[in-house]
Amino acid sequence: MRVITGSARGRKLETREGEAVRPTPERVKEALFSIVQFELEGRRVLDLFAGSGQLGIEALSRGAREAVFVDASAESAAVVRKNVEACGFSGAARVVHADFASYLAGNCGKFDLAFLDPPYRAGLLQQALPLAASHMNPGGTVVCEHPFDEELPLDAAGFRKERSYRYGKVMLAVYRRKDVPET
């Protein structure tokens, strides 16, 4: 697993071993960043269920101002810290070892872009989506990765599913605020 492009292009990222970990496949990551390519520069990003941190790190590499990485696993948080340091993003990154609900219940501020990639089939995405959407700036975007046979709601906390993309067994659902015109 590597950073695709930007200031940290080609950097190898570590990941945890085992079946509890499911990194986003490279072609899905490339597609995701094609979708949000004009929404990164100078933005504040949330990488919820961060795992290795590859999505937030890719966003920083492509010009995001700040990324907050949240994961309930102490092992994953340690891997994210190591990857952030190896890519030179320590000053622009904040790694939080907490479950998504307690983090989003606190004063975490507002985000411009959020990546939600929880463990599949655990019901976490349906819980996390409205919580994360409520912490988005006007014009913000939430991107959810989920299995192709899992249905997501059309609306969540003022956000509407704008489009879904299928990549084999993986789906990306893009949510944008309903009352903000598209750019």
Q: Residue 23: its pLDDT value, please?
A: 78
Comparing CA positions, the residue from 106, 99, 94 lying closest to residue 71 is 99
Side chain identity, residue 61: S
Q: Which domains does the chain have, with CATH numbers?
A: 26-177 (3.40.50.150)
29-49 tens-digit pLDDT: 999 999 999 999 999 999 999
pLDDT band at 1 (very low <50, low <70, confident <90, very high): confident
Q: Residue 20: its pLDDT value, please?
A: 61
The per-residue DSSP string of the chain comes to -B--SSTTTT-B-----STT--PPPHHHHHHHHHHSGGG-TT-EEEEET-TT-HHHHHHHHTT-SEEEEEES-HHHHHHHHHHHHHTT-GGGEEEEES-HHHHHHS----EEEEEE-PPTTSSHHHHHHHHHHTTEEEEEEEEEEEETT----SEETTEEEEEEEEETTEEEEEEEETTS---
pTM as predicted: 0.93
Average pLDDT over residues 154-160: 94
pLDDT band at 152 (very low <50, low <70, confident <90, very high): very high
Q: Residue 182: its pLDDT value, please?
A: 52
62-116 tens-digit pLDDT: 999 999 999 999 999 999 999 999 999 999 999 999 999 999 999 999 999 999 9
Q: Residue 25: its pLDDT value, please?
A: 83
104-148 tens-digit pLDDT: 999 999 999 999 999 888 889 999 999 999 999 999 999 999 999
Q: Residue 79: its pLDDT value, please?
A: 96
Question: Is 183's pLDDT higher than 70?
Answer: no
